[in-house]
Amino acid sequence: MTTTSVPTAAALALGDDALVLSHRLGEWAGHAPVLEEEVALANIALDLLGQARVLLSLAGDEDELAYLREERAFTNLQLVEQPNGDFAHTIARQLYFSTYQHLLYAELAAADGPFAPLAAKAVKEVAYHRDHAEQWTLRLGDGTDASHERMQRACETLWRFTGEMFRPVAGLDADWPGMESTWVEAVGDVLRRATLTVPEGPRSGAWAAGAGRQGLHTESFGRMLAEMQHLHRSHPGASW
């Protein structure tokens, strides 16, 4: 472990990604299409929550950061706050994000920075998330006409949120352009094997989305936060 001080903004950015996606996946509890997926999505959410707790604790008090910040103080990617939609939407979001997180954590684990211990641990967990998303993408894309159509629609809808992932985060030592080209290639390969068309829409520029890292979020995020923070705000300091 190095003595490098922790870049707080970077810890918040990564912690918020994990926390927000964890909450979204938790919303599937009781609604997943089959029991195995109910369990799988909850387990992935739990892994992400564990990562979020470590990351937010590097930046301050985890509970205060999770439950008492306003929307504009969260710096998660807009991708992870997108509503679950149908199962295909959730899988497309998982595919895009897990692939990114897997590449990023692998880089952070290899670098000797303050995030190396967590990244070395989490990269192995995320490998299973990525595999889960890839297998479902293949199954839905190369499944029935209905599942193919829904999966294609989900991939298209979320595509414009994927450029934001590769804008450099201050304090994180990573090869962002290199990661982006690896990501485009890897995701493209999965989509093609799933008989899906790689979306052609913009991933950056005026018509792309993504200012989550600057604290600007999409409409549904406020509602998600209201639900996530309600209990803690109503009963300050309450614990199980």
Partner 1 sequence: MVTTTPLEAELLELAGSVPDPELPVLTLHELGVLRAVHVHGPDSVEVELTPTYTGCPAVEAMSLDIERILHEHGVRDVTVRRVLAPAWSTDDITDEGRRKLREFGIAPPRTGRAAGPVGLQLGPTRTLDREAGEAGEAADPIRCPHCDSADTELLSRFSSTACKALRRCLSCREPFDHFKEL
Contact residues toward partner 1 (CB under 8 A) are 1, 36-37, 39-40, 42-44, 46-51, 53-54, 116-118, 120-122, 124-125, 127-128, 130-132, 135, 138-139, 142-143, 193-194
Q: Residue 216 Cβ, how far from partner 1 at the closest point, in Å?
A: 28
Interior/surface letters 66-104, b for 16+ CB within 10 angstroms, e for the rest: bbebeeeebbbbbbbbbebbebbbbbbbbbbbbbbbbbb
Q: Residue 35 Cβ, how far from partner 1 at the closest point, in Å?
A: 8
Question: For residues 42 and 216, which CB has a smaller minimum distance to partner 1 in the complex?
Answer: 42
Question: For residues 53 and 167, which CB has a smaller minimum distance to partner 1 in the complex?
Answer: 53
User: What does the radius of gyration of the chain's CA atoms come to, in whole angstroms?
Assistant: 17
Question: For residues 123 and 209, which CB has a smaller minimum distance to partner 1 in the complex?
Answer: 123
Task: Quote the Cα angle for 22-236-212, to 5°.
Answer: 35
Closest C-alpha among 105, 99, 131 to residue 120: 105
Question: For residues 44 and 179, which CB has a smaller minimum distance to partner 1 in the complex?
Answer: 44
Q: Residue 36 Cβ, how far from partner 1 at the closest point, in Å?
A: 4
**For residue 59, what are the CA distances in angstroms to 16, 22, 130?**
11, 19, 27
Q: Residue 224 Cβ, how far from partner 1 at the closest point, in Å?
A: 20
Q: Residue 118 Cβ, how far from partner 1 at the closest point, in Å?
A: 6
Distance CA 193, CA 44 (A): 24
Question: For residues 9 and 116, which CB has a smaller minimum distance to partner 1 in the complex?
Answer: 116
Q: Residue 202 Cβ, how far from partner 1 at the closest point, in Å?
A: 29
Question: For residues 132 and 213, which CB has a smaller minimum distance to partner 1 in the complex?
Answer: 132
In the DSSP assignment, the letter for residue 74 is -
Q: Residue 22 Cβ, how far from partner 1 at the closest point, in Å?
A: 8
Distance CA 94, CA 113 (A): 26
Distance CA 98, CA 11 (A): 18
Place of tokens 């989490």: 122
Distance CA 159, CA 30 (A): 28
Question: For residues 126 and 209, which CB has a smaller minimum distance to partner 1 in the complex?
Answer: 126
CA dihedral 140, 144, 149, 150 (to 10 degrees): -50
